[in-house]
Structure 1
Amino acid sequence: MLTHPQFDPVAVSLGPLSVHWYGLMYLVAFLQFWWLGKYRLLHQPQFARAGWTVRQLDDLLFYGVLGVIVGGRVGQVLFYEPGYYLTQPLQILAIWRGGMSFHGGLLGVLVAMALYARKSARHWLEITDFIAPLVPLGLAAGRIGNFINGELWGRAADASLPWAMVFPAVDQLPRHPSQLYQAGLEGLLLFVVLWLYAGRERPRGAVSGAFLVGYGILRWLAEYFRSPDAGIFGFSHTVSMGQWLSLPMIAAGVLLIVAAGRQRA
């Protein structure tokens, strides 16, 4: 069996200033978003025809960062740990310790993109189609941050599993390193699928729909290897909170793909 290395959550200390690995992973996520977005602008002609510019990409990144941080933290508080944060409200601001909900972050980004759509006079789905392939690698970076922090550990696994891992901060049971599963599924695999799918011009809403369906299905599968949390619904032994929140994503994605198909027809 493997043992979690129990990394120091602080990557660099400069006097009173500490830079956490979790924060660095978010920085990596935002940088790759900008780099991949610039690549799309320069190498996929449909965006040049639509008048997209690098300056608009900068604005998208700014709005997206706000949506991710605010929405992700609010989602964690409301969906997963309302009782804890009700008794420890100041901990809501301690984002460097981890605790960001993807589904909350997604809602935050959707609101931020709606605000940007209004400002730029672009269709909301045109914007989400552009950013959808830029998201998965950022999700992978976030899951690696979870692994470094030793949080969101997996369910107990058979000790014969070659990559079963003990998380000493939890117990001495062999567990699935579910953070790495999610980095591979919701991060690398989803990125490859979306990047290839979005390489050709698609009807408006199709790429956004593919992202919602793809992430929702992969997250549903990955939840079977994560230690379940009861969340606000309390169904930890049947359907986890992550699975509940993925269901409307899948449904919305299917509707978008169907609507996009009708546009093409």
Structure 2
Amino acid sequence: MKKLNLKVLIFLIIIASSLSSCEQKVKEKRKVERETLDVAHPVIAQTDQGKYSEPTWQIVDEFYDAISANNTKMVSDMLATKFPVNFQPKNKIRPLDAVIRTADNLQLAKLFIDGGANMEDKKDEFILGASEHKRLAILKYLVEKGAKFKNNGAFNKAGFYHFYDGAKYLLMSGANPNIGDVSGKLWVFHEAVRKSDYTVLNALRLTKDDLEFNDCDGKTALIIAIKTNNIEMVKYLLKKGVDRNKPETFDCGDDIYYGKLPIEFAKENNFKEMVELLK
């Protein structure tokens, strides 16, 4: 009987020891898990060097949504607490590009331009973006900050996208009007005729072919001036050497069609002085 009790006692001791060992292992495992969570990548946190860890995709989406909403305050707050100004997310356009596509919000753009974003090798591209999306305030500020624009086609980019004010600013700041897609230059030329903008006309370096250019609606610069009864512009263009006998020319594809002569428009509208000039 004593032997039986001794065996039972030994068995109970072994069971208790095993349970204690298992409990200790569970505690150690939980401790490791807690420590792992503590050192896992946080949503965002500043280090001693003042830098941020890489934002989660949720923060990235939140940041770009704030830009799309043109929410300057939210973007500013996130740059200060969650989103590194130099961070470039995968599969996303650059933050400043997103700003340019959204609005001409100079205050928002300055958060990146003046906030430490690494953009020295990208300023030319931002200039082209501002020219395309008609962001005059941002365009001017990029030029002030030293972005190159004279020989990268920015002027013609602005003209191509019918951004007259931007094209004029770049032209008068020294942009070469003959670099890039010169259809932009030709659009600016006709707009300058409509606006009687002699400052632009004199800066465009117009060739003979430029002066004779006709748009898809058949109009030459001379016909535009006649139709708007702009006698001074007619005189200016004739002095530049435009062909007074070039008719409306519809040339937007394979076939070319011709319409009225410049003098016919003047006669139809009883512009007698113009008729005399065009004879």
Larger gyration radius, structure 1 or structure 2: 2
TM-score (norm 1): 0.20
Q: Which has the higher helix share?
A: 1
Q: Which has the higher contact order (CA 8 A, sep 6+)?
A: 1
Q: Which has the higher strand share?
A: 1
TM-score (norm 2): 0.20
